[in-house]
Chain A
Amino acid sequence: DAGVTQSPTHLIKTRGQQVTLRCSPKSGHDTVSWYQQALGQGPQFIFQYYEEEERQRGNFPDRFSGHQFPNYSSELNVNALLLGDSALYLCASSPLANVLTFGAGSRLTVL
């Protein structure tokens, strides 16, 4: 079982650019959540997808958007990147409201 896989692992962008991060959930998991972890902080909830719909959303601007595909994989898109978007982005999958299985994260640096 491959667990949760995320890509890319590292990337560097400049301000104003757009980025897409990808996540494949653990086999058997139908819910995908995205978290942002800035330096020195705990993971902050961005949003959660279930049945290809955004079910819940944290306190993030509309520049953050996502998608879930029929195979349960998911994408996180961030438009008009700001320096403050530099962070580790974690994807976690779960059966709904159950224990989270995390990926290794995508580290985004915005210059």
Chain B
Amino acid sequence: ILNVEQSPQSLHVQEGDSTNFTCSFPSSNFYALHWYRWETAKSPEALFVMTLNGDEKKKGRISATLNTKEGYSYLYIKGSQPEDSATYLCAFIGGDNFNKFYFGSGTKLNVKP
């Protein structure tokens, strides 16, 4: 069984705070790491696709880094806004199968105005 772990499980911050959370995955047989944002009552939407060790991706106030050698990715949100409230999922693609996505259980972010 391939484990993908996300921490923390949930996070409550004030509007304007910056925050970050972690996705840990196996450091061998890596193919890609995806981040998805899942807002309540909506479908999960892709944020980032990361494939290379050292990758850094940015979309507005949200950015992500990737370390495939040690098996982790960080997601950062600068100056959190209430609309950032969502569950953030990471998905590891790799192992013995490059077509299967292994999801973490997510980090639920709540940004208070």
A interface, CB within 8 angstroms of B: 3-4, 31, 33, 35, 40-45, 48, 55-56, 58-59, 90, 96-97, 99-105
Contact = CB atoms under 8 A, between A and B. Distances in A.
Task: Specify the main secondary structure of chain A where it touches its partner.
Answer: loop
Contacts of B1: 59
Given A40-B105, A99-B34, A99-B49, A45 B100 contact: yes
Interface string B75-96: 0000000000000010101000
Nearest to A96: B99
Given A43-B103, A100-B91, A102-B45, 12 more contacts: A3-B43, A4-B43, A42-B4, A42-B104, A42-B105, A42-B106, A100-B46, A100-B101, A101-B43, A104-B42, A104-B43, A105-B43
Contacts of B36: 100, 102
Contacts of A55: 99
A100 B34 contact: yes
A31 to B, nearest CB: 8
Interface of B: 1, 4, 6, 31, 34, 36, 42-46, 49, 89, 91, 93, 97-106
A100 B34 CA distance: 9
Contacts of A99: 34, 46, 49
Contacts of A58: 100
A104 B41 CA distance: 8
Contacts of A102: 36, 43-45
A44 B100 contact: no
B43 A97 contact: no
B32 to A, nearest CB: 8
A97 B93 contact: yes
Contacts of A43: 44, 89, 103
Contact of B99 (A41, A97, A105): A97
Contacts of B31: 97
Nearest to A103: B43
Contacts of A96: 99
Looking at B93, B102, B103, the one whose CB has the most chain A CB atoms below 10 A away is: B103
B75 to A, nearest CB: 15
